[in-house]
Chains A and B, each alone.
Chain A
Amino acid sequence: MTITLVLLAIIMATVIGWLLRQSLSSEPWNANDPVENEPGRGVLNIDPAKIGLLSFLAVATSLFALFMSAYMMRMNLGDWRPLTEPNLLWANTAVLVLASFAFQLTRNAATREQLSTVKIGLVAGGLFTTLFLLGQLVAWQQLNAAGYYMTSNPANAFFYLLTALHGLHLLGGMWVWGRTTIRVLSGADVRSVRLSVELCTVYWHYLLLVWIGLFGLLLST
């Protein structure tokens, strides 16, 4: 549970720390308290959709961390036979990095309102992601062909489970990506999709990070 505790501690410390800062110097019982009457106090200068996404990332962090903790606890038991990860995963990782990169370019272009770059970037990001997901499926097939079945060892089961979970999160992202791309290609204004593009970018970077963490864990054990 160490990983989970460390990550949750960081999340909780951020949240609680911020909330405490709101309260330390204030005298809420005093209606004339200058601190409480500061204009705009406590409202974060961030779009609600981003707060929603960040909160969701906290949830996802808890989810992935718990799976990783479970992995590490289960690993120490006698019947664990580590599996050899297919080399394809390295290629997949590279493709996912490219996807993240494409989204970053799209985001930058969206801030500068360069419609054509946004179009190219979105399509590229989607393509790389699809490639990654297909690559993961091929990796599954290779493992299966090599006799690493889901039920034959917990190491295999965890491999399938963790990659599937990560893939599902990407698929969820692809849904938002799909809606945004369709809107851009059918001629919507760049400004109207800037927020969606930004949200996608953050989400893809996050999932890249998660993947690197997962891949590292899988490789090192």
Chain B
Amino acid sequence: MASIAAPTSEQTIAAARSERRPGGLWLLLPGPLGWMVFFYLVPLVILLVHAFWSVDYLTIQRTFTLENFRTLLTNDLYLRVLGRTAAMAAVVTLADLCLAFPLAYFLAKRVTKHRELLLLLVIFPLWSSYLIRVFAWKTILGTNGILNSFLLTVGVIDQPATAFLYSKTAMFLTFSQVWLPFMILPLFTVLDRLPNSFIEAASDLGANPWRTFRSVILPLSLPGILAGSLSVFSLTLGDYITPTLLGGPGDQMIGRLVADNFGMSNNWPLGATLVVPILVLVSLFIAVANRFGALGRTAA
């Protein structure tokens, strides 16, 4: 019960605990901290600094300018791609939430035998390469793919359809599938910790299953919902492999543009600038999630 007590009291307890920690433990910090600073924070700062520089015939001009941001905000293409990317991330997040919740609930509350095994099956795809899973979708949706063969055999279509691959739908399907475990795990964690007696108490007090879900289960699993959504949302937001392999010509996503600017067009400053809205969106999400206590409690 303590695990889902009011955040205030829990934070107090956490604070009290950390105060009592033996000082010797601080000696463990420099290693991981140094790693984070040199391999994460420093590159991030370098990246952001690039956003305020410009490029002149493939050489980077190290003088402060807001030109890149002006381009970003005035060029229709960037805003459209940005909007499309955010919309895709939002829809994928929502779809995964709807798919993952019943599954996580079933695993946490109904399954008594083989729970670990079933949970392992959820995690299992994460152990295979992400690329392989994306290519798998290509073989499913392709012109000679499994879906077309099936539909041809059944007789729904008489020509292999080309519409499945290289489309928003293909991207949506792939994203939803590959990120699903990231949604299931935190949901499973909160639901597993949610005492059955809360659900029984609601029912005992006259709430039908729907009202129990809305007034007790949903609010108490909010940390897991936010944690899972944060993962799926930011993973989709920054991805460029799926759009490259499965997206159509008009389905450009921001990650792809970033990659292009750092790669082919060799315009690091613009690439860095395009990262900024992604960072802002994700930071906003983190702030909201943190506000509702999604971080720290569901380290999934």
Asked if chains A and B come from one complex, the reply is no
